[in-house]
A and B are shown apart, each in its own frame.
Chain A
Amino acid sequence: MILDNLFQSLSYYDESSEKYGVHSWRADFPILETSVHGKPLVYLDNAATTQKPLAVIEAESLYYRHDNANVHRGVHLLSQRATDAFEAARFKVQHLINAVSPDEIIFVRGTTEAINLVAQSYGRSRFKAGDEIILSRMEHHSNIVPWQILCEQTGVNLRIIPINNSGELELEAYNQLLNLRTKLVAVAHVSNAMGTINPVRAMIDLAHVHGVPVLLDGAQAIAHLPVDVQSLDCDFYAFSGHKLYGPTGIGVLFGKAALLEAMPPYQGGGDMIRSVSFDGTTYNTLPYKFEAGTPNIAGVIGLGAAVDYLAGIGFDALIEHELALLAYATQSVSDIPGLRIIGNALEKTAILSFVLEGIHPHDIGTILDRHGVAIRTGHHCTMPLMEHFGIAATARASFALYNTRTEVDKLVEAIYHVKELFGR
């Protein structure tokens, strides 16, 4: 629907206006000045990881130059400053996703660790043989394998929501899958391979009718949509900093306080305890109960800077820009003979996955790279999804706030060169 409207409004979007401020946004990202193979970098692999604005790079650097100390326990000034910066970032994340309390924000390594935490702490302590977890066909391996491990440990079973050929979830089938044995629904907010925005609000409502909590894998949503965990009413929300213009190695698990309170710790160690003796240990309160050991302090501070950066741009401007770019790219590639888009959902983020007749995506990726165009090729860690479409791999161009129509043109030009080389 959004896409249709944008197609209609395409005529209003022209490069000269650049009303979305894309050129000033580009200037915030030093790496975009880079050349690869003698060509200007056209970075279209943002679903894998986004580039970092100077504000994020400097926040990490400033911390190491001026404030570096361990958090939470020191009485000295640097430790206080490090702790303040660290906890300030937690507030920023709380406001980004509109959590009720900062105690609901658990810092982890990334989306993968967040999901593993829920599987091992929440799932393992509560689920029994015969219970069911609902996933979907389009999940990233990181929202499949942690549950498979849990299946081996507890005897729970996985039920899979099918998808249609546009790459959208079959909601009727989802409805049928929910039953008295269902203990959790874990689905992607946005598909990493196709960009499909899943109707998570309605899915959560339906799950809650059955008293089933829902975990959303927000890795691909967090930088492209406003996320409000209260209005979604999701029980867990997981995302990674590095897909949000922040550093790698830092991510967030949001969980409703009541659920987190009742869950056993995921890892044991320092910081997650209140007192330790050989007669018994009492655990710390939220969020520290789930943050054993010295955390990725610089990463958290960098993530806080990324959240500030995104807030400065605002989701309205960002979404308008990215969806206009997706509409332009979709229209541009649809003229290329033999090209098929994988994932034509009505509601999509700016991800364009495609295959070319008779040409393997890996070859496409190599040739595009020589044009300076960085895309991802392969199964995108979604092998069950690839199987659904009967393909081994796709080529995926994924856009971010700093991409331009000129870059889309370069992508298209490079795809034509692939076809020329292959004589197709």
Chain B
Amino acid sequence: MSDLRDLYQETIFDHYRQPRNFGRLQGANRRAEGYNPLCGDKVTLYLRVEDGVICNARFEGSGCAISTASASLMTENLKGKREEEALQLFDKFHGMVTGSTMTNDLGKLAVLAGVTEFPQRVKCATLAWHTMKAALQNIGEPVTTE
């Protein structure tokens, strides 16, 4: 059961218990909702984008340890990134958790690499990320992981 420890690392629990950037963002100019119909997890992501740079990111919602920690870590990571950098980060992160690409420059996000051994949990890890993509592309409809 060592892969359970690989999945549930201390950093994940830390961000699950005390999610960073949690709550509504005043002055947000991008917003999107994500929904995982499989488990009922919901996330709302708020971004403040100025001159193509994400100045601030916050989220609210309820979810499992993996989806909450992933959203928390993502919001930390997005601040200061250009929109296109954020979208590139989406691709890298998605590649890491689905096991399709190897990356070693994801920094703290690498704690979610254990998800590759749990294919049923990839949707939990990527929910916030799909929502971020939708927010940047200004998709009005809630995105789902399906």
Kindly state the separation between the CA atoms of A393 and B13 in the bound complex, as whole angstroms: 20
B13 proximity list for chain A (CB < 8 A): 422-423
Complex Cα spacing A266 to B109, Å: 53
A379-B40, A393-B39, A423-B13 are known contacts. Are A362 and B8 too (CB-CB below 8 A)? no
- How far is A393 from B17 in the complex, measured between Cα atoms in Å? 19
B55 touches A (CB below 8 Å) = no
Q: How far is it, in angstroms, between the C-alpha of A366 and the C-alpha of B4 when the chains are bound?
A: 9
Docked complex Cα distance between A421 and B13 (Å): 9
Contact with B along A358-372 (1 / 0, CB 8 A): 111111001100110
With both beta carbons as reference points, the residue of chain B lying nearest to A358 in the complex is identified as B17
Of B3, B7, B63, the contact of A360 (CB 8 Å cutoff): B63
Q: How far is A37 from B7 in the complex, measured between Cα atoms in Å?
A: 15
Within the complex, which residue of A363, A371, A377, A383 is in contact with B65, where a contact is CB–CB below 8 Å? A363
Interface-side segment among B26-34, B117-125, B131-139: B117-125
- Closest CB of chain A to B142's CB: distance in Å? 15
In the assembled complex, the Cα of A5 lies from the Cα of B17 at a distance in Å of 42
Quick one: which of B96-146 are within 8 Å of A by CB? 118, 120-121, 124
Question: How many positions in chain A have a CB within 8 Å of any CB in the partner chain?
Answer: 21
- Contact, CB under 8 Å: B4 / A362: no
Q: Does B88 contact A (CB under 8 A)?
A: no
Interface pair A370/B39, CB less than 8 Å apart: no
Identify A421's interface contact among B8, B62, B120, B121, CB under 8 A. Answer: B8
A395 to chain B: closest CB distance in Å? Answer: 11
Q: Are A362 and B1 in contact (CB under 8 A)?
A: no
Neighbour of A392 across the interface among B4, B8, B40, B124, CB < 8 A: B40
Q: Which of A37, A383, A421, A422 contacts B40 (CB 8 A)?
A: A383
B49 on the A face (CB < 8 A): no
Given A392-B62, A421-B8, is A362 in contact with B3 using a C-beta cutoff of 8 Å? no
Q: Are A377 and B8 in contact (CB under 8 A)?
A: no
B41 within 8 A of A: yes
Q: Does B64 contact A (CB under 8 A)?
A: yes
**Chain B interface (Cβ < 8 Å from any Cβ of A):** 1, 3-4, 7-8, 13, 17, 38-42, 62-66, 118, 120-121, 124
